[in-house]
Structure 1
Amino acid sequence: MKRSLSGILAALLITSNAYAADLMPAEPIAEAPPEVAVTEATGWYLRGDVGYGFNDLRGAKYFQGSNASEADFDRADLDDAWTAGVGVGYQVNSYLRTDLTLDYLGKSDFHGSTNGGGSDFGACQVTCSSTDLSSMTAWSLMANAYVDLGTYGYVTPYVGAGIGGTYVKWKDLSNTSCDTSGSGNGCDDTVIHGGQGGWRFSYGLMAGASIDVTCNVKADVGYRFLHVGSGDMFGYNENGGPGRDKGFNVHEARVGARYMFGGCQTASYEPAPEIPLQQPVYK
């Protein structure tokens, strides 16, 4: 009888354990993290820059009039000047962008002089030296392309190049010739030569870095080398001229900003499909 009761108890214990195991719910499967749809920063932008240009005039020439020969100025210097510019561009992808810019080079004073023999009339009858004064301004219209070299924190270094044209406008040139022989003859009257203007071929090379200020505003610090070709400088008057410059280079330090349209768009997320929890199985 005891053996029968023991067997019945053992059978009941095994049955209850098996039933409890069947009632235990299955462990839920962890959901996968949502997938992020990475999108490149693209779109239109506006830009503005200010800077300072260090001008390097490559020289100037003039016709001597009576003998119809062209001679170099013995001195031809162009002062430095401030610059400003605006532009509109398009960010093609994370590494390439292009823009069209219009830049202004402020008034740059010209200081020149020539030395030569005297003439049969006036103060300079033995030897003479001239003082030549003028100034110029310039507008540059350039099409540019840039390569962004990767983003490091908030900073994106870049290099670029541009091609276009520059309208150079020279003011009237005043020419005053004075005797340098020591005879005390003094100076001739100042002669005014009309200034010239015109479009010239130009190209530029750029390097710098963009700094993220907000999601749609980027500060820009950079350098631009601008080459402007040769052209007319002043006209003929009083047996002298016309003259032309040999072109000039501008080494420009610039700071500015770019406003990105649509730069604050948030990244889109694609949630993972829902996986239902496994229901308990009863046996």
Structure 2
Amino acid sequence: MRCVRSLIAAGAASLISSVAFAADMPIAPPPYAPPPVEDFGGWYLRGDIGFSNQSVKEVRNGNEALYTPLLSLNQQTGFDTGGIFGLGVGYQFNNWFRADVTGQYRGRTNFHGQDLVTFPLGGGVIGAGSDNYGASKSEWLVLANAYVDLGTWWCVTPFIGAGVGAARVTISNFTDQGLADFSPGVIAPGFALANSASKWNFAWAAHAGLAYRVSPNLTLEVAYSYVDLGSGLTGPVTTFQGFTTNNPMNFRDITSHDLKLGVRWNLDSPQPVYAPPPLVRKG
């Protein structure tokens, strides 16, 4: 009987010892995975909408001989605001450099212009005249752009950039209403028009803006661009009576100050990776 009690006591002591030993054993951790690393690289798609504020250096007839006898020429020109719609694809190389290729349709805008001229009539008499121009203009613009991101504060990243490419400038619905005063008091009205024409030019742009990273995939932009679109031209100018010299009107050095809202969607955003808590021991 004493042996039985001894065996029971020994078994109980062994069980208690095993439980205590197991309590001191470390808990097996789940497989280790490194903490997530923020990845700035990858392909992205972009879209932009905005509006343009355009200007042209001068508008002149292709027949320069028309300007030779003038004593003075004062020209005023302007475009209405036009819409901008763009799409593109790009790549973020690291946390400060990215590049993309964009295509824009720059919506039709109305053009208004006026020439005020004086010219000699002989015998010291000076005549005066005016030309009032009207037209519309639109463009397709393709640019290869590169950007430098200047650091991020509270998810906002300022950036600068530049682009080069080509612009297809189309001038449509050109009209010219002229009025000349041949002193003393002889008024001669005139009217001319021109067919639409398009012209491809080298184009370039400078960019600056702010980007806000909403999520690892989505970034919003507010941006400004200065764009040089090159020149445009009309078809040959023809008078109301059908007379033409086969000379177009040249729109020289068209530039624009653009304001845009943009969206970038990252196609290669990394997925979150589970990182286990540190190993904890008892005792």
**CA-to-aligned-CA distance 1:147-166 (integer Å, 9 cap, x gap):** 11122121111111111011
**How many residues matched?**
249
| Paired-residue identity, % | 26
Residue matched to 1:170: 171
TM-score, with length taken from structure 2:
0.73
Structure 2 CA distance for partners of 1:262 and 1:63, relative to 1, 3 Å: closer
CA distance in structure 2 between the aligned counterparts of 1:73 and 1:232, rounded to whole angstroms: 20
Check whether the contact 1:136–1:169 (CA below 8 A) recurs between aligned residues. Answer: yes
1:247 aligned to which of 216, 239, 253 = 253
Residue matched to 1:129: 130
CA distance in structure 1 between the aligned counterparts of 2:74 and 2:139, rounded to whole angstroms: 22
Could you say what the CA RMSD is over the residues aligned between the two structures, in angstroms? 3.6
Single out whichever of 166-175 and 53-62 deviates more from structure 2.
53-62
2:175 maps to a residue whose letter is: S
Single out whichever of 127-136 and 250-259 deviates more from structure 2.
127-136
Residue matched to 1:154: 155
Residue matched to 2:3: none
CA distance in structure 1 between the aligned counterparts of 2:263 and 2:118, rounded to whole angstroms: 51
**CA-to-aligned-CA distance 1:33-65 (integer Å, 9 cap, x gap):** 975352522211111111121112122221447
CA distance in structure 2 between the aligned counterparts of 1:65 and 1:162, rounded to whole angstroms: 34
CA distance in structure 1 between the aligned counterparts of 2:210 and 2:178, rounded to whole angstroms: 49
Residue matched to 1:183: 185
Counterparts of 1:176-215 in structure 2, within 5 Å, are 176-180=177-181, 183=185, 185=187, 187-188=189-190, 190-215=191-216
Asked whether 1:47 is paired with 2:46, we answer yes
Instruction: Return the index of the structure with the highest Cα Rg.
Output: 1
Gaps of 5+ in 1: 1-22, 120-124, 279-283
Residue matched to 2:98: 97
2:201 maps to a residue whose letter is: R
Residue matched to 1:110: 111
Structure 2 CA distance for partners of 1:220 and 1:70, relative to 1, 3 Å: farther
Give the secondary-structure state (helix, strand or coil) at the position aligned to 2:271.
coil
Residue matched to 2:86: 85
Counterparts of 1:262-281 in structure 2, within 5 Å, are 262-263=268-269, 265-267=271-273, 269=275
TM-score, with length taken from structure 1:
0.73
Residue matched to 2:139: 138
CA distance in structure 1 between the aligned counterparts of 2:144 and 2:67, rounded to whole angstroms: 40
Counterparts of 1:10-29 in structure 2, within 5 Å, are none
Asked whether 1:59 is paired with 2:58, we answer yes
Give the secondary-structure state (helix, strand or coil) at the position aligned to 1:74.
strand
Asked whether 1:223 is paired with 2:229, we answer no
1:131 maps to a residue whose letter is: N
**CA-to-aligned-CA distance 1:131-179 (integer Å, 9 cap, x gap):** 1111110111000111111221211111111110110000031111123
CA distance in structure 2 between the aligned counterparts of 1:58 and 1:179, rounded to whole angstroms: 24
CA distance in structure 1 between the aligned counterparts of 2:112 and 2:261, rounded to whole angstroms: 29
Check whether the contact 2:106–2:140 (CA below 8 A) recurs between aligned residues. Answer: yes
Structure 2 CA distance for partners of 1:173 and 1:116, relative to 1, 3 Å: farther
Structure 2 CA distance for partners of 1:174 and 1:96, relative to 1, 3 Å: same
CA distance in structure 2 between the aligned counterparts of 1:148 and 1:158, rounded to whole angstroms: 4
Check whether the contact 2:33–2:274 (CA below 8 A) recurs between aligned residues. Answer: no
Check whether the contact 2:193–2:237 (CA below 8 A) recurs between aligned residues. Answer: no
